[in-house]
Amino acid sequence: MFDCSSLGIPKAVILDRDGVINQDSDDYVRTVDQWQPIAGSIEAIGRLCDAGYQVYIATNQSGIGRGYYDLDELHAMHRKMQALLDAVGGHIAAIEFCPHTPDVNCDCRKPLAGMIVNIEQHMGCSARGVPMVGDSLRDLEAGMLRGCTPVLVKTGKGERTLKKIAQDPLWTGLTICDDLNAVVDQILSGELYEQASNTRA
């Protein structure tokens, strides 16, 4: 199994939540019952943890600021997620979320990198080179601001995002995977880091 620490990259992965771990909705995931994992995502996180990776989440949750659900409901969703992870030996090291609407002009809402900065504090080091996995352009942009390795999944809004960036030379060489399980395959094999290194070169 490949060890990314040999490249000076922390054994960590940063995940968006909606559309990467759980099913997304254009009408927002508002209740714990609506929070449903994407097939294979829980097991994929378990595989990362089993391989010694720290898994972090950075998620925009403007539904709180919009009044669609409250903090108690958000925490209930995350307890449900952790209960599912417990069954496969998985664990989330830290969850960073932004409750703000875009008009608040905070520094944590992706595509800004405030949540990743906070994750770096949890890690005790830079997130440079760490995979940042998302289904939207703002996930990729936030990761790029901190030198992460952006990865796009086709789940959630991923297919829409792929069409949006198809002609943008900025994203030439971007790693694109069908789902989180496929991302983990590339992380554990080292293919993801090799591809990122070739893109930077």
Other CB atoms within 10 Å distance of the CB of residue 143: 26
Position of tokens 């893109």? 199
Q: What's the pLDDT score for residue 1?
A: 85
SS3 150: strand
Q: Which residues line the annotated binding site for Zn(2+)?
A: 98, 100, 106, 108
Q: What's the pLDDT score for residue 88?
A: 97
Q: CA 119 to CA 113: how far, in whole Å? A: 10
**What's the predicted TM-score (pTM) here?**
0.97
Q: What's the pLDDT score for residue 130?
A: 98
- The pair of structure tokens assigned to 11 is 């054994």
Q: Which residues line the annotated binding site?
A: 16, 18, 98, 100, 106, 108, 135
Active-site residues, by number, are 16, 18
> What domains are defined for the chain?
8-200 (3.40.50.1000)
Those residues of the chain that have pLDDT short of 50 are: none
Q: What's the pLDDT score for residue 32?
A: 98
pLDDT tens-digit series, residues 14-58? 999 999 999 999 999 999 999 999 999 999 999 999 999 999 999
